[in-house]
């Protein structure tokens, strides 16, 4: 079993799902391994937003044009955006794909067993809201990404991919 998480492999999996736009608010966990290469990728449109709930409106609008997008944020931003997620993603059944950095989660520890309260509550909240979620902790987990995004768009429903450790920058 792999003990590392490679950013370039995550990006490859995201692109294989047809995502052409990445909507972001910086997150320390993913800043170097994902955000920096995403922002430099000429195949992707990168929209920097000021606050995380903006990304949900933008992503939902893009989906009406059949354009797939990924939201890259920190778990604190996910918590901040709960009303927009409740309304636009869940109640209005929009294909909103989150990639969420679990800042401070201990490597190898399940999110629900983290010592960090904010990290520990993320999956129970997502489960309560009926939002599919996947922990992406090692390279072995990366194979979940493309099907998760495809499923979100095929079923018009949200999904959250929880990044459990800082991805390697190369």
Partner 1 sequence: MIKRDECLKSLVSKIANDEIVVAAYTTAFELDAIRPSPYNFISSGAMGLTSSHALGFALAWPNRRIILLDGDGSLLMNLGSLVTNANAAPKNLIHFVFENGTYEANGGHPIPGQDSVNFAGMADSAGYNNCHEIFDIAGFESSIGSILQEEGPTFVTLKCETGEKYPQDYRYMHSAEIRKKFAEAVKDF
Applying CB under 8 A, which residues contact partner 1?
A: 21, 45, 47-51, 53-62, 64-65, 67, 83-84, 86-88, 91-93
* Residue with Cβ nearer partner 1 (53 or 137): 53
* Residue with Cβ nearer partner 1 (12 or 155): 155
Give the shortest CB-42-to-partner 1 separation in angstroms: 17
* Residue with Cβ nearer partner 1 (93 or 155): 93
Residue-wise DSSP of 63-97:
HHTT-EEEEEEEHHHHHHTHHHIIIIIIITT---E
Sign of the C-alpha dihedral, residues 89, 107, 44, 36?
Answer: positive
* Residue with Cβ nearer partner 1 (112 or 155): 155
In terms of Cβ atoms closer than 10 Å to its own Cβ (0-12, 13-18, 19+), residue 92 is exposed
Closest Cα to residue 46, out of 21, 66, 70, 63?
Answer: 21
Give the shortest CB-89-to-partner 1 separation in angstroms: 10
* Residue with Cβ nearer partner 1 (58 or 129): 58
Give the shortest CB-159-to-partner 1 separation in angstroms: 18
Residue environment code for 16-31, b if the CB has 16+ CB neighbours within 10 A, otherwise e: ebebebbbbbebebbb
Give the shortest CB-73-to-partner 1 separation in angstroms: 14
């Amino acid at each position: 079993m792999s003990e590392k998480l490679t950013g370039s492999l995550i990006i490859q999996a995201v692109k294989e799902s047809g995502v052409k736009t990445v909507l972001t608010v910086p997150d320390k966990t993913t800043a170097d391994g994902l955000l920096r290469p995403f922002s430099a990728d000429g195949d992707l449109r990168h929209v920097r937003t000021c606050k995380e709930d903006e990304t949900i409106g933008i992503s939902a609008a893009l989906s009406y044009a059949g354009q797939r997008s990924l939201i890259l944020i920190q778990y604190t931003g996910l918590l901040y955006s709960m009303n927009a997620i409740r309304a636009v993603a869940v109640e209005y059944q929009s294909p909103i794909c989150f990639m969420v950095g679990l800042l401070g989660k201990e490597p190898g520890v399940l999110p629900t067993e983290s010592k960090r309260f904010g990290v520990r509550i993320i999956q129970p909240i997502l489960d309560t809201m009926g939002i599919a979620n996947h922990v992406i902790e090692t390279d072995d987990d990366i194979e979940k990404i493309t099907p998760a995004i495809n499923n979100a768009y095929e079923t018009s429903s949200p999904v959250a991919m929880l990044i459990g450790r800082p991805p390697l920058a190369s």
